[in-house]
């Protein structure tokens, strides 16, 4: 994360030190290409010379190197005291690495600037960690129960009750983010060959988790009310699913929120047919200011809803913390699986976060985040309306600052994604969001930075690439 504070002195020095720290921590591994000086200057609100001077200083130290038209890349930290020099040829890693490992796609490089974190929240979290260390230090430095830190689970249960969900701490399992939550749910509930129904389009990470569990995934169309109930009934008539995966609020990628009548109808079908609902509240609902429909779990009087929540993800992304809400028998099984594989986030981190929330810092942080969020949301909506051609349909997810774009007839989203690979926005091809095929003309646009001006420039550049593709597709022959 790069954040420059002019009151703290030279911004060039801050920029150089922060980039060097990211390299030292491994967040920018050797070979990583950095944004162009012009793009980074625009994102940070500084002069281009400031970035050029910082890059030059790091290049002189051997941390970065300029590769001409290919830009600037990380070379790693130079040798120094305590850093041994290589004295022999390294292992032949290309031969030693497994074929399966090399087939795993590279993750998208996160933005260097994260929009919601600020120095005030960092300082508050630091004080909270100091507080709990001083109060319970020895107890927090040993492995805690796999279910998670009890006071944090109690706080989450209280928050859920305030939102209408009557759950207790014994129904909550703390996990290492969304991936572990989905993995544990699949391990605990799914057998190979089980049928899973999912909104279509849907979250690609969920599709990956279901396929790893060797489940059969079938899509059910998203509608303006959240889910096409006729399509759901058609699938239910073909055979009973084990699980129905839903993102009822601020659905990814479309941004649609399921209305209350549809939620109640889905719950009634779950009770009648005996399947479970996996409710994913991954989007940060607390950022969005407006009328929020209660989650499915709030109307789940029979225990058919399992809820996965990572609502702090965009606000506190480095913590990688989430939780699962389920009936105690399911929580106990997931806790045993979790303990056998990965103890999850440590007790110290959980205790610090609990203190952060207990003291009210979380809500104050949300308030500051909401203000920044509204600015970027307005900028994204205006930029899409101004720059995308009328032949491209789009919708904005008000909770995640992402746009779901449908390209004009005759164009493929993957062609645009390839041409936009050097851009700073994150573009994901739409076919990754479909379980049953489709989405070739769709893509998801995400802006992971905090610059409204940079956002508009990025949308304009993507629109120009789209215009060039349309022009090429229209040429005869």
Query: Is residue 109 in some structural domain?
Result: no
* 123: CB partners within 8 A, 6+ apart: none
98 domain residue, yes or no:
no
The answer to whether residue 87 is domain-embedded is no
| One domain for residues 254 and 195 | yes
362 token code pair: 């979380």
DSSP 209-246: HHHHTT-EEEEEE--TTSS-HHHHHHHHHH---SEEEE
Query: Could you tell me where the beta strands, DSSP code E, fall in 10-167?
Result: 64-66, 72-74
Non-local (6+) Cβ contacts of 314 within 8 A are 115, 116, 284, 287, 400
Residues 400 and 254 in one domain: no
**pLDDT, tens digit, 9 for 90 and up, residues 219-261:** 999 999 999 999 999 999 998 899 999 999 999 999 999 999 9
Q: List helix spans (H) across 61-115.
A: 93-96, 99-103
Q: How far is residue 455 from each of residues 50, 230, 306, 340, 401, measured CA to CA in Å?
A: 21, 39, 36, 44, 11
The neighbour count for residue 347, using CB atoms within 10 Å, is: 23
| Residue 354, helix vs strand vs coil | helix
Q: Determine, yes or no, domain membership for 18.
A: yes
Q: Provide the token pair at 323.
A: 């939780």
| CATH classification at residue 75 | 1.10.10.10
Residue 252 lies in a domain: yes
Query: Is 328 found in the same domain as 227?
Result: yes
pLDDT given for residue 110 in this prediction: 44
Query: Which residues of the chain carry a pLDDT beneath 50?
Result: 80-86, 109-114
| 130 in the same domain as 67 | no
Look up residue 345 and give its DSSP letter: S
Q: How many CB atoms lie within 10 A of CB 353?
A: 25
Strands 305-309 and 322-325: antiparallel
285 and 324 assigned to the same domain = yes
pLDDT at 163: 73
Q: Phi, psi (5° rounding) for residue 8?
A: -95, 15
Q: Is the domain of 132 the same as that of 168?
A: yes
Residue-wise pLDDT tens digits, 392-442: 999 998 887 899 999 999 999 999 998 887 777 788 999 999 998 899 999
**Residue 94 domain-assigned?**
no
Q: Which residue range(s) make up the domain with 396?
A: 370-474
Antiparallel, parallel or unpaired: β 393-397 and 322-325: unpaired
Tokens linked to 143: 């492995």
Whole-angstrom distance, CA of residue 158 vs CA of residue 119: 28
CB atoms < 10 A from the CB of 450, how many? 22
Q: How far apart are CA 338 and CA 13, in angstroms?
A: 43
Contact in structure between 328 and 157 (CB atoms under 8 Å) = no
Query: CA 308 to CA 352: how far, in whole Å?
Result: 22
Query: Residues 176, 345: contact at Cβ < 8 Å?
Result: yes
Helix or strand (DSSP H, E) at 431:
none
Domain boundary among 361, 394, 418: 361
Assigned domain for 104 exists: no
Question: How many CA atoms does the CB half-sphere of 142 hold within 13 Å?
Answer: 4
- Clarify whether residues 401 and 455 are in a common domain: yes
For residues 31, 35, 41 and 44, what is the CA-based torsion angle, rounded to 10 degrees? -90
| Structural domain includes residue 103 | no
Number of domains in the chain: 3
pLDDT score at 232: 98
What is the spatial distance between Cα 475 and Cα 250, in angstroms, rounded to a whole number? 39
CATH code at position 353: 3.40.640.10
Same domain, 340 and 461: no
CA–CA dist 378, 364 (Å, integer): 22
Distances (CA, A) of 373 to 288, 317, 402: 8, 15, 12
Domain boundary among 335, 361, 387: 361
What is the edge-to-edge ordering of all strands in the sheet holding 243-246? Answer: 172-175, 322-325, 305-309, 276-281, 243-246, 195-200, 216-221
- How high is the pLDDT of residue 84? 44
Q: Do 362 and 342 meet the contact criterion of CB atoms below 8 Å apart?
A: no
Q: Which residues, including other chains, have CB under 8 Å from residue 131's CB and lie 6 or more apart?
A: 355
Domain limit, last residue, from 82, 111, 135: 82
Q: Are residues 439 and 320 in the same domain?
A: no
> Are 174 and 226 within 8 A, CB to CB?
no
Q: Are residues 333 and 374 in the same domain?
A: no
Q: Pairing between strand 276-281 and 243-246?
A: parallel
Residues sharing a CB contact under 8 Å with residue 89, sequence separation 6 or more, in sequence order: none
* Domain match, 331 and 396 both: no
353 and 469 part of one domain: no
Q: What is the CATH number of the domain that holds 397?
A: 3.90.1150.10
């Amino acid at each position: 994360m790069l954040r420059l504070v002019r009151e703290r002195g030279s911004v060039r020095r801050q920029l150089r030190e922060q980039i060097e720290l990211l390299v030292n921590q491994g967040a920018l591994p050797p070979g990583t290409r950095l944004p162009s000086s012009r793009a980074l200057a625009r994102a940070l609100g500084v002069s281009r010379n400031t970035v050029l001077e910082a890059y030059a200083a790091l290049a002189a130290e051997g941390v970065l190197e300029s590769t001409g038209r290919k830009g600037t890349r990380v070379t790693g930290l130079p040798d120094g005291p305590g850093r041994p020099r290589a004295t022999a040829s390294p292992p032949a890693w290309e031969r030693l690495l497994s074929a399966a490992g090399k087939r795993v796609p590279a993750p998208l490089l996160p933005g260097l600037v994260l929009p919601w974190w600020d120095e005030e929240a960092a300082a508050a979290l630091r004080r909270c960690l100091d507080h709990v260390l001083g109060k319970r230090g020895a107890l927090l430095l040993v492995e805690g129960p796999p279910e998670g830190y009890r006071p944090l689970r109690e706080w989450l249960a209280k928050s859920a009750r305030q939102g209408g969900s009557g759950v207790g701490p014994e129904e909550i399992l703390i996990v290492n983010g969304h991936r572990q939550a989905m993995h544990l749910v699949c391990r605990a509930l799914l057998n190979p060959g089980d049928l899973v129904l999912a909104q279509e389009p849907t979250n690609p990470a969920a599709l990956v988790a279901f396929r790893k569990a060797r489940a059969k995934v079938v899509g059910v169309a998203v509608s303006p009310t959240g889910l096409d109930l006729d399509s759901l009934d058609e699938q239910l008539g073909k055979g009973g699913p084990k699980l129905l995966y839903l993102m009822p609020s601020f659905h990814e990628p479309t941004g649609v929120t399921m209305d209350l009548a549809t939620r109640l109808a889905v719950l009634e079908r779950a009770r009648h047919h005996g399947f479970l609902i996996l409710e994913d509240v991954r989007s940060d609902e607390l950022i969005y200011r407006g009328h929020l429909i209660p989650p499915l779990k709030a109307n789940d009087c029979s225990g058919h809803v399992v809820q996965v929540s990572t609502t702090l993800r965009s606000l506190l992304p480095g913590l990688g913390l989430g939780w699962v809400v389920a009936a105690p028998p399911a929580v106990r099984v997931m806790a045993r699986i979790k303990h056998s594989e990965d103890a999850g986030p440590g007790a110290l981190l959980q205790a610090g976060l609990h203190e952060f929330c207990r003291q009210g810092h979380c809500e104050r942080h949300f308030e500051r985040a909401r203000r920044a969020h509204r600015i970027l949301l307005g900028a994204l909506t205006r930029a899409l309306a101004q720059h995308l051609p009328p032949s491209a349909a789009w919708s904005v997810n008000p909770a995640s600052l992402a746009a779901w774009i449908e390209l004009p007839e005759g164009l493929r989203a993957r062609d645009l994604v390839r041409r936009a690979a050097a851009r700073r926005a994150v573009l994901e091809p739409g076919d990754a969001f479909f379980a049953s095929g489709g989405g070739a003309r769709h893509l998801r646009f995400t802006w992971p930075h905090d610059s409204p001006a940079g956002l508009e420039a990025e949308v304009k550049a993507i629109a120009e690439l789209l215009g060039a593709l349309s022009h090429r597709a229209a040429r005869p022959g």
